[in-house]
Amino acid sequence: MKNIAFLLFYLLLTSVTIAQPRIISGPMLGPVELRDAKVWLEVSPEVKSVSLQYNKKGEKKTKTVFYKGDLGNEFNPLYFTIGGLEFNSNYQYKIWVNGRATTYGGEFTTKDLWQWRKPIPEFSFLTGSCSYFNEPVFDRPGTPYGKDSSIFETMSKEKASFMLWLGDAWYTREVDYFSEWGLWYRASRDRATPVLQNFLKSMPQLATWDDHDYGPNDIGKNYILKEASRNVFNKYFCNPSSGENGQGIYTMTTWGDADIFLTDDRWWRSADRMKDSVDDKPNPEKRMLGKQQMEWLKNSLLYSSATFKIITVGSQVLNPVSPYDKWRDFPAEYQELMDFLKEYKVNGVLFLTGDRHHSEIIKVDRPGTYPLYDITVSPLTSGTHSFGGPEKNNAYRVFGLDEKQNYGKFSFSGTRGNRKLTVEFLGVKGEKLGEWSITEKELKTPQ
To 10 degrees, the CA torsion angle through 133, 135, 140, 143? 70
| Spatial distance between the Cα atoms of 47 and 20, rounded to a whole number of angstroms | 8
- The alpha-helical segments, DSSP class H, found in 159-289 are 180-191, 197-202, 226-236
Sign of the alpha-carbon dihedral angle for 278, 283, 286, 291: negative
| Spatial distance between the Cα atoms of 120 and 36, rounded to a whole number of angstroms | 21
| Residue partners of 129: CB distance under 8 A and separation at least 6 | 165, 166, 167, 168, 210, 314, 353, 354, 355, 377, 378, 379, 380
Domains recognised in the chain with CATH numbers = 21-109 (2.60.40.10), 123-443 (3.60.21.70)
N- to C-terminal Cα separation, the chain: 94
Q: What are phi and psi of 138, to 5 degrees?
A: -110, -10
Rg of the chain (C-alpha set): 23
What pLDDT shows up at residue 447?
A: 86
Helix (H) or strand (E) holding 108, with range, is strand 100-109
| Number of residues that this document lists for the chain | 447
| Spatial distance between the Cα atoms of 32 and 17, rounded to a whole number of angstroms | 36
| Spatial distance between the Cα atoms of 101 and 50, rounded to a whole number of angstroms | 10
| Spatial distance between the Cα atoms of 331 and 288, rounded to a whole number of angstroms | 10
User: Which CA distances in Å does 422 have to 79, 123, 402, 413, 439?
Assistant: 33, 11, 20, 8, 9
| Spatial distance between the Cα atoms of 206 and 109, rounded to a whole number of angstroms | 16
Full pLDDT tens readout for the chain, 447 residues:
455 544 444 444 444 445 799 999 999 999 999 999 999 999 999 999 999 999 999 999 999 999 999 999 999 999 999 999 999 999 999 999 999 999 999 999 999 999 999 999 999 999 999 999 999 999 999 999 999 999 999 999 999 999 999 999 999 999 999 999 999 999 999 999 999 999 999 999 999 999 999 999 999 999 999 999 999 999 999 999 999 999 999 999 999 999 999 999 999 999 999 999 999 999 999 999 999 999 999 999 999 999 999 999 999 999 999 999 899 999 999 999 999 999 999 999 999 999 999 999 999 999 999 999 999 999 999 999 999 999 999 999 999 999 999 999 999 999 999 999 999 999 999 999 999 999 999 999 998
